[in-house]
Structure formats: C-alpha cells, structure tokens
Structure 1
Amino acid sequence: MFIKKRIKQIIVVFIASISIACEDFVEVDAPDYKIIRDDVFSSEETAKSAMTGIYNELFRTSFSNGSPYSVTVLGALSGNLLKNIRETNLTRMEFHQHQITSENTSNLFFWTSAYNMVYITNAFLEGLQSSENIGSEVKNQLEGEAKFVRAFTYFYLVNLYGDVPLVLTTDYEQNELASRTYSEEIYTQIILDLEDAIEVLTSENQDIRTKVNRYTAMALLARVHLYNQQWQMAEELSSQVISNNSYVLLGELNDVFLANSQEAIWQISPAGRGAATTHTNEGNYFIIDPVFSFLASVQLDENFIEYFNENDLRFSNWISYNESLNAYFPYKYKIWNSNEQPSTEYSMVLRLAEQFLIRAEARLMQDNFTGAIEDINTIRHRAGLAPLSNTNNLETEVLLDEIMEQRSKELFTEWGHKWLDLKRTGRYEILWENDPLWEDTDLLYPIPAEERMKNPNLTQNPGY
C-alpha cells in the first residue's frame, strides 16, 4: 500500500518545515533516517519546527488543501453542492455522478496524500518519544498536536472509505501489506488520539488559529461523538468550546474566513505553500473571476441556490454570480489570486458555528427541544432569519430537518459536510431522486486500484 521507504519525504517535511516540499518519494537507505531524526529531535526548537512542517504539509497535501483533489471539493461534488462547468474532466464528473471508478486519479491522490500524512505523524511521534533532549512539557504539547492531526486525517479516511488500514508505525514492511481495519476500530483510535490530545494540550495560543490547542481537539471530538450518536458527550464537548470566550460567532459574515478570525477554532495557513502566492486554494478554485471566467471549473448547483431564502445573509455574503457563465459560485473566500504579505485569508477547518449545530442536534436527540431551538436560533439570527418559536410544539423530525438545512447553508463547500451529513443521517435519498444510476454502494469511495495492486491484502468496497 505504501511506497517503500518514504524516508526522504519525512526528512523534507521536518527539515524544510517553512520551505518548499513535494509529494515525490525517493528511496534512501534506512540508516540515513536515524541520523536525520536525531538531528530533528536534538532540541526543542528543531522539534517545534518539525511540527510546523506538519502544519505546512496540510496545506500542500491533496486531501486537506482545498485543491480539486481535496475533501472540500470532492465532497461538495458528491453532495451535489458543486457541479462541473464543463463535462470534459471525467475524474471530477465521476464524483458528481456517483460513478467513481477505482482508477480515478483524484481518488488516488486523496487516498495517498492522507496516508502520507498518517505516515508523517507516525514518524514524528516515534522521533519525539525516543528523544532525550526535549522537556516533558514541550514533548506533551507536540505529541498532542501530532495525535490530533493523525485523528483528523483518519476521520476523513473512515468516513469516505469505510474500513481502512490502521497504521500506527513507520515500519514500511508491515505497512505495505496492511489489511483493512473495521471502521469501529478506526473510530476507537481516533477517539483515543483526541482524548490523549485533550489531556496534554494547553489552551494557549488561542489568538493563533493555525496551531492546535485543547479546544481544537475538543471541537473535533464533539463532531466524532455526534457521528457516533454519543449525544451527551457531543453536547458536553461542544458546550465547553462554545463557552470559551476566545471564540466568537462573528456578526459580519465577510470577516469569518479571514486569517486568525475570532470564529475560527482551527485554520490552515497558505504560508505552507512556500511560494509567493498567498491566497487560499478554495478562493483560487471557487471564485469565477469576471475577466478570466474561462478558467473556472466548478459552480454551485442550481438546486442548492434555490434552497436559500432571499433574506438569508449567507446568500448575499457567501455566494456570488458570474454573468458571462450564468453561474453562482462560493464566495466565502474573497481572494482569487494574491501575493499580498501576509496572507489575509486562511483555510477554515473548524469554526464555532459548527459547534452550535453539533450541540443543537445532540440536544434534540436527548429531547431537549428548548436547548436545540436556542442553538438553531443563534445560527438563524446571525443569518438574518426570524427565530423559530418554541411554542409551536415542533416535532423531532421537523427540528432535525431544520438543523440539517442550517448545516447545509452554513457549512457548504467546507470539508464535505453536506456529503457526510447525508451519509450519516441516511438522508441520501435526495441523491437517488436525481440520479437514475445511484446505488447505495456509492456511499463509499472505491479503494484505489493502484494501491490494491501494491498490496494484495487490500480488499475493495462493494459495488466496485
């Protein structure tokens, strides 16, 4: 499954933590790895730089960088939020039509980049644990950050592919023949990593939103528990994040996606690109420039546009229109192409609005209708919509519909939320209504054929 001896990549990421790296892998002899790793973990400063390298890699690597191969784009195509402007790009068309082949290159790039990140965090954790030059306080903090990134990566792997190999070591001989692990075990490891992270991470640096802290781990764990229908734990964790005054639901919607936004719980900086351009990939890919509209690849689906109330501020602030293509496009990020220093927009990963929606759903499923409506109205108020009344004796299913609607309108084109919500709630009938080729096996992406050729122990998902 994994390219043999990816040691060169680890060296590049650790040493060039604030410079340029690539996704090419070169075989080197194993002894070199020990020499380099000893250098990387020879001091607290070099170890911190290595962790910065991991954050930077999240912006460079396909699954997490907002590029056409990322969960943001592929998930939005699968969730019928985006559609292709031209039908010539067959790899993207397959995601929108739910007819992904195991040879699809976008699917391959997603899988391999995610497992590259798993491998990098494993190497970092091994080097950190074996180091005798790093104090316990710094070691704990760095361990928590790395475990968070590993859990974050596995969250998307398990939700998009189902059972996947659970790899917790850099032993390439073991990894390259790893078989798939049941989803329940993957989730157990995700929860373990996040609980470990919460235990050791500090709540410092909350003004620097690109660095993981205790509340970042709480926010992701709240989502994990929601997905696993652990309602009470989801509510407790989201409540802790919401009660932290460092995070604010911003009244001005156009400020939400700015660098170090007060609404951000965690962001990824374009500085990780290591190049002169400073725009986000989301802004660069989604915005249809009025002059260079011929470069545009995707637009918002018309059905999603019709879904909005005309008074919804999210429509007027986060969606724009290109007249020449007669196309609406996501406009959460305002910068299409920029070399302005420093970057004024960061890629949003976790933000406070999601925590209100997590808590609303968790409360509803515990029959706390008043609390659920309270949280829904917080989101509706910010969007300029009238509040729901608690005197209407709203039924659970009606309120759940409202929560899903607000999730769709609030979190569109962010990290595949709509696609994952349709899957986890069983509401994907909306897909087969518009797609005569739809089959329930389309809920999972195929294991890439190239990876299965390398690893005979990798089985395929049904339907492929």
Structure 2
Amino acid sequence: MKFIKYTLSIGLIGLLTSCQSYLDVKPLESISDTQTIYDKTSSETAIRGVYSALASANYYGTNFQSIGYLSGDNIQWTGSQSQVQEFINKKVNADNSTIASVWTAIYVTINRANNVIAKVPTVTDPALTTDLKNQILGEAYFIRALAYFDLARTWGGVPLITKPTASPTENRGIARSTQAETYAQVLADLTTAEPLLPATTNRYRATRKTVWSLRSRYHLYQKEWDKAEEYATKLISDNASYQLVKPYSAFFANDARGTAESVFEIFYSANETNTHRNQWQPQTNGGTRQWAPNDALVALLNDPKVGGGRSTLVAKDNQNRWYGNLYYRTPAADPTYVIRIAELYLIRAEAEANQNKLTAAIADLNAIRSRAGIDVTTAQTKDQILLGIENERRLEFALEPHRWFDVVRTGRATAVFNVTDNNRLLLPLPAGELLIDKALVQNTGY
C-alpha cells in the first residue's frame, strides 16, 4: 500500500476516525460511507480531520518542514541515512522516502478537504447554521489552498484533484497540471474561502485574516508586488491582534503558544505530540539531534550585531554540541508555526523594495531588526535592501521551512547554494507514484 496514488485508500471512514484529540473532538466510529457527513456533529468532526491531516508527522509535523530547511544552508545532518543527506547536497532522488511520505500526506489532506467541500453543503441539520456551515467550508478551502501551494512550490505542476476519492484507483490517469495552473487553483480556493470565513482572529483555525496572510505569501511568489503588499498590510495594520512580540524568543520560549506573533500555528498536546521536537533535541534531552544548526548558522546567530536575540534559537548540549531549540518541550507539545506576523513584515518589505518604495521597505526591514535587538540597516539601494531582506529571512526563520523556497523563488539558488542545474529547483515526483500511474510524467532532469 506504500505507493497507492495519493493514498486514496484513506476513505471517509479514515477521515472521521483518525481525528486528533488535540482539537478536543471524539472521533465518530463505525459510520457507513453514506452517513459520514450528515449532521452538525459529523461536519465539525470532518473539518477537524482535515486539520489532523495538516498536522501529521509527514506534513507540517516534521517531514514537509524538513524539506524547506534541510535543502537550504542552515542545517547539517548528523546521522547516516543517505536519503536525508540528499537534501543537504541538493541532489534528491525519486526514490527518496521523505518526498514519498510528504506527497502522500499532502494528498491525504486534500482528500479530506474535498470530502468536506463536497458533503457539508448537502447537510440539512438545523443545528448546522448557515454561518457555521460557511465557516467549515471556508476552512476546508483554505487548507486545500495551502496544500496545493506547498505542492506547487515543491514539485511544480501536479494532478489537481478537487473531488472526494473513495477507491485507490479512482484518480489514476489524471495528468499533471502546469505549475501555473496549480497556483491558479490556490488562488481560486483562497478567493472562495475568504467570504465564507469570519473576520475574526484565531491562531489555530482559518479565518478571513488567515486567508489574507496566505494570499500575501502567494502574491509574493507570483511577484505580484502590489497585491503582496496589500494583503500583508491588512495583517500588519491590525495591531490589536498581531504584533512583533519582544524579545524575539517570546513567541516560543517558556511554553508560549498563540501569542500576538502568531497568525496561524498548529496546536499539539501531551496526548498528540509534535514529532519535530525529537529531531532537534540532543540525547541528553531525550531527542536524537539528527539535524542541527551548522557552523555558519551558529556563527550568524551568535553574532550580537547580526543575530541579536535570535541566538536563543540554538543551545549547547552536555557534549558542547550546538542544537536547535525552537522545539524543546517535554512532552513534545510544541506548536508548528505556519505563518507569523514577522513574515508579513518581510513580505511587505520585499514587495515595497520591488516597487521602489525604498523608505517604506527600510522601515519594515528595520522593524524586524529592532525586534531582534540589532542596529538599523545600512542598506540604501534596491539591491542592498533586497539582500538585507534575504539575510534577515535566513535568521528570522532559521529553523522554519522558508530558506530553500526563498532562495529558489528569487532566482538566487546558483549564487547562494551553488545549484547550477535549474532542474534541481523542483523535487522529483516519487518513483512509486510513477510506477502505478503511467499518466504521470517525471520532472525534467530526473
């Protein structure tokens, strides 16, 4: 079953019976397929199943995030598994188990969202009010948008599946869409989600504000600078809800969660833990330290003129070895930070710089530097400002999954990572998927 396309063996029963308790939902068991989503309770359980898939170890729990930073230049692999080293070397093979597990996990998430989108509108339970029905649908559209966004930036064009799947073979034979078409699906889902969702602040579930934040990131990737600026401003101007908390560590240290820094984070608990923690923490803290900050990152973070307060992201173990300390809790109930307000400041700064609004770009860049406790930037020209933003993003999100995607989208992979084969800027489709579906075509160069 390892390579069944998109793990379509995960049907609606799985959608409802595997929901995680961290969302305070008791799963519904032994429900026939015709009744899986039929009333208010099952509708609410189903959307929690979508969040559960998003939070899984192979998606935002660990593996998808690891692609974003292992492929960059901040992290070293301390183990012996060659498939992990492939990301460090920027030479990932199609039989890599991590890409297979991530591909599967994202399509599981999409399938669960598709079930909600297809079935919740047909529910006639009076207890499921129009507002609540719209909210559930909006959340499903938002999560599907995020899933396709992650697929597009990782693999390029992918098969677009927008209907629920009930059997393993149902979607075989569907060719890949282009990357542009995949991104278009993202925008379509965000556009649909926005009016369905409440304009409230919720750091754990999608609202209209969460949609705005992902739209800002989406428009940044599309180089639609005015739109990226517009949507970032919607969040930044909401100072009552979102702020750069001080000091830098305040959004994660001392068991903090759901601070004003957070736009969207994933909640874990002692019963449903975040597997990410064990990869970072050393053995003395009950982890494996399989990946760790490399010497270059440690030097940058510990330079008070460059890293400032961000030095709290790293610490030393009893063997004098550096380790990453963003995920540290015992038990491992650390949140996953999907979108922080700091990202919106840096998105807006980049968008402003690319529109030659240099004074505004410097102000947003300095907001990040000030929170980190370092001096204002000396950058003055557009190119200097853009490089300053790139450098701040490297440290601001040092242990979050941005670095690889940032450098690829700006066209600087050759200069920064020495990647001379542009085919390597997209990952290969998992080999197992190609074996079972001849309609799929591998990315060029693999």
- After TM superposition, the score normalised by the length of structure 2 is 0.89
* Aligned pairs for 1:241-280 within 5 A: 241-244=235-238, 245-257=240-252, 258-271=256-269, 276-277=270-271, 279-280=273-274
Separation of aligned partners in 2, 1:4 and 1:288: 34
Contact 2:49 2:112 in 1 (8 A): no
* RMSD of equivalent CA atoms: 2.3
State the secondary structure of the residue aligned to 1:175: coil
**In structure 2, do the counterparts of structure 1 residues 17 and 291 end up closer, same or farther at CA, with 3 Å as the change threshold?**
closer
Separation of aligned partners in 2, 1:332 and 1:5: 31
Contact 1:4 1:176 in 2 (8 A): no
**In structure 2, do the counterparts of structure 1 residues 167 and 8 end up closer, same or farther at CA, with 3 Å as the change threshold?**
closer
Q: Please name the residue that 2:427 is paired with.
A: 445
- State the shift of 1:216 in Å: 0.7
Separation of aligned partners in 2, 1:279 and 1:174: 33
**Structure 1: segments with no counterpart, 5+ residues:** 21-31
**Structure 2: segments with no counterpart, 5+ residues:** 23-29
Length, aligned pairs only = 427
Contact 2:57 2:275 in 1 (8 A): no
* Aligned pairs for 1:333-412 within 5 A: 333-335=327-329, 337-338=330-331, 343=333, 345-388=334-377, 394-412=380-398
**In structure 2, do the counterparts of structure 1 residues 37 and 374 end up closer, same or farther at CA, with 3 Å as the change threshold?**
farther
Q: Please name the residue that 1:284 is paired with.
A: 278
* Aligned pairs for 1:102-251 within 5 A: 102-133=94-125, 134-171=128-165, 173-204=169-200, 206=201, 208-244=202-238, 245-251=240-246
Comparing 51-60 with 362-371, greater Cα deviation is found at 51-60
Contact 1:247 1:352 in 2 (8 A): yes
Q: Please name the residue that 1:413 is paired with.
A: 399
Contact 1:73 1:413 in 2 (8 A): no
State the secondary structure of the residue aligned to 2:119: helix
**The one of 314, 323, 348 aligned to 1:319:** 314
Contact 1:18 1:52 in 2 (8 A): yes
Separation of aligned partners in 2, 1:282 and 1:442: 26
Q: Please name the residue that 1:76 is paired with.
A: 69
Q: Please name the residue that 1:29 is paired with.
A: none
Separation of aligned partners in 2, 1:222 and 1:449: 33
State the secondary structure of the residue aligned to 2:376: coil
The alignment status of 1:305 with 2:298, answered yes or no, reads yes
Separation of aligned partners in 2, 1:4 and 1:426: 30
Separation of aligned partners in 2, 1:132 and 1:2: 34
- State the shift of 1:3 in Å: 4.4
Identity score, percent: 26
State the secondary structure of the residue aligned to 2:316: strand
Contact 1:287 1:331 in 2 (8 A): yes
- After TM superposition, the score normalised by the length of structure 1 is 0.86
Q: Write the letter of the residue equivalent to 1:406.
A: E
Q: Please name the residue that 1:24 is paired with.
A: none
Q: Write the letter of the residue equivalent to 2:368.
A: I
Contact 1:155 1:190 in 2 (8 A): yes
Summarize deviations over 1:370-427 as a string: whole Å, max 9, x none: 11011001000000011136xx7x111100000111111101221x211001100011
Contact 1:83 1:96 in 2 (8 A): yes
Summarize deviations over 1:29-64 as a string: whole Å, max 9, x none: xxx98x4352x4332232112212221222225122
The alignment status of 1:14 with 2:1, answered yes or no, reads no
